[in-house]
Amino acid sequence: MGRKRVMIVDDAAMMRLVVQNMLSSDPNLKMAGFASNGKEALEKLAEVQPDLILLDIEMPEMDGLEFLRHARLKSKAKVVVLTSVAPKGSPKAMQAHALGADAVISKPSGAVSYDLEEKRGSELRRTIYRLLGIEDS
C-alpha cells in the first residue's frame, strides 16, 4: 500500500507549515497539496486526489464548512476538521461534525515547542491513521 495523500487547507501559512512538519516525516503519509481557503482547495481537489483532508474552519473566500460539503460530495477523502476553538465556544465546530466531518480535532497546541511536539503529533497522527485504516506499528 502506497503512502496516503494528505491535503492541508488552512489560511494561516504557519499552521500549514507546522502541520506539514509534524506529518512529513511519517513514512505512511504524503503531503500532497495545500490550499489557503476552501475555494482554492476546491479547485485543486481533482488534481491533488487526497485520501485525507485536514481542514480549517475560519477562512476567507469559502470557509471550511462550505468546502466540507463540496469535499464530501466530490471526493472520497476523509475530512478531519482542525479547530482551535473549544466546542463550547464554537457552534461551527459542532456544525462541522454534524455536516459529516469524519473527525473534529483541536489544533495541536504548543506543538512548536520541542518537548510537546511528539505528544501532539501523535494525537493527530493517531486520528489520521484510524481514519485511513493504517496499522500503527
Partner 1 sequence: MTNKETHNDYSDELEEVWSLFVEDGREALDLVEETLLGLESNPTDTGQVARLFRGLHTFKGNARMMGLSVIELLAHHAEDLVALVRDEGVALTSAMIDLLLEVLDCSRVMLNHAMTQRRDADAAQVEGMVARLEVMLADNTRNQVFSEQPSVSDDSADDTFVLSVDEGVQVPEEPVSVSTEEFILVEELVDPSTDPLYVQIFTEMANDEVSRLHTALDALAGGEVEESIQEIAVITHNLMHAAERMGYDHLVALLGDLDAVVEGWDSEAQIVELKRLGLALSQELADIQGVAPSTGSGQARSPEPEKSVQPSPRGPSRDRLVEQLQKTVSEALTIEPLLPDEDIVYEDIFDAQPSQRPLRSSDSLSGIAGGGAAISDLSAVSDAARLFKQWCAVRACDDLARLDKVMDELEQFVRQFLAGSSGLMWDEKLALVNEAAYLLRAIYQACVFYKLEQAAHLTLAMEDLYVRVAQEEMRVDEALLDLTRAYVTQLRHAIESIRGGETPELAALADLLGQTKEMLYLHSESHISQATMAMLDLLNLPPEFKEVVTPENLLEISRALQAGESFYTVLADLNYDGEVGQSFYRWSKSDTVRLITNVTVFQDKRSLYNFLLATSESRESILETFARMDPQGRYLSLEECSLREGVNLEEAVSDQVVREPVHRTGRVVEAQGAVSMEALTGFVEKMGELVATRATLHRVVERLTEVDLIETVARLVKQSGYDWQRVRRELQISLGSWINDLSGLAQLEAEMGAVVDQFQEVALALRARPAAEILNPLQRLIQNVAQHQGKMVKLDIEGANVGLDHSAMDILADPIHRLAWFAVAHGIEKPVQRLEAGKQATGRVSVAVSKIADHVQVVIEDDGRGIDPDATLGRARELGWANDDSIPADKLSEWVLREGFGLVGGSHCYDVESIDLAAINADLQARRGRLSVASEPGQGTRLSLDIPLDTVVIDGMVMRAGDVHYVVPIEVVRRIVKPEETHLVHSSADGGQRMLRLDEELVPIQTLAGNTGGGISQESLLLVVETGERGVALAVDELIGQQQVLVQPLQGCLTDIQSVSGCAMLGEGDVGMVLDINRVTA
The footprint of partner 1 (CB under 8 A) covers 11-15, 17-18, 21, 58-60, 66, 69-70, 72-74, 76, 84-91, 94-95, 97-114, 116-117, 119, 123, 126-127, 130-131
Provide the grid cell at 108.
Answer: 495541536
Q: Which residues contact 67 (CB under 8 A, 6 or more apart)?
A: 9, 38, 39, 41, 42, 55, 59
Cα-flanking dihedrals φ and ψ of residue 77, to 5°? -60, 145
Task: Indicate the residue among 32 and 79 with the shorter CB distance to partner 1.
Answer: 79
Helix H or strand E segment including 32 = strand 29-35
Which CB atom, from 20 or from 30, has the smaller least distance to partner 1?
20
Residue number, 43 or 69, with CB nearest to partner 1:
69
As measured in angstroms, the least distance from the Cβ of 107 to partner 1 is 6
